[in-house]
Amino acid sequence: MDTMTQFLDVYAPAFLNWSRWIFVAIEVLGAVLFIGSIISRYAFKKPTEADFEFLLYGIIYLGVAVCFDVPMFWMSMAYVFAVYMLLFPILLTPKPKLFTYLFKPLAILSQIVYLGALFYNHHYEGFEWFWRLALLIGWFLVCYVLIWLTDGSTKENICTHCGRFGDNEKEDTRWEEDGCEYIYYKCAYCGETYRVKINEKKEKVKSEE
């Protein structure tokens, strides 16, 4: 226990002090991987508009990382986008589903590490310990919703026919005979239409006679 405490006493403050530069390094590495993926992808097909979401996210969150020196709980959200940017080049490869396996666990881990270090570093006591912990848990849930939405949106834009990720066009939303609601997309690469289930009717419970 003493060894763990000593470890946290040393590395929790160090991590927070270097957190924004860690974030910048992730962004730079993501940019290098992105450029390499774009170059290699021209051999298959020119990038779609979805590929360049990287640029928008990169500009906004790189700015956040550079401008704020004092660690704050809300800055953990920047790490969600840092993980997204780092893994984004995977979406430009023929195996974009690998992104969906890695993004959610790594994004959640980034929140736990950052918020945990922030909480430990302040050494709260008494009642403040409880309400600060409740605040961080609440904020973690907010970030989790963002992670969940980002992951879901990415999965919807992976074609079930060719397996490629792109800026796929939404064509229709309708209920089918199986009792499920689907969104139909047209793939930007192969031109095929595929569907994604978004809702399912609950079976009505028959009342006892």
Residue 12 · residue 120 · CB < 8 Å: yes
Which residue has tokens 């396996």?
101
| Each residue's pLDDT tens digit, 112-137 | 888 888 888 777 788 888 888 898 89
Structure token digits, residue 83: 């993980």
Phi, psi of 26 (to 5 degrees): -65, -40
∠ CA 110-114-118, rounded to 5°: 170
pLDDT for the residue 138:
92
pLDDT for the residue 101:
93
Candidates 94, 95, 143, 136; CA nearest to 119 is 136
Residue 37 · residue 92 · CB < 8 Å: yes
pTM score: 0.74
Which residue has tokens 């929790």?
12
Residue 176 · residue 151 · CB < 8 Å: no
* Other Cβ atoms within 10 Å of 192 Cβ, number: 12
Q: 3-class SS at 171?
A: strand
pLDDT for the residue 174:
83
Amino acid identity of 140?
A: F
CA distance 8 to 173: 51
Q: What is the mean pLDDT of each run of 10 residues along the chain (209 residues)?
A: 56 67 72 66 56 63 63 78 81 85 93 85 81 89 91 87 81 83 85 84 47
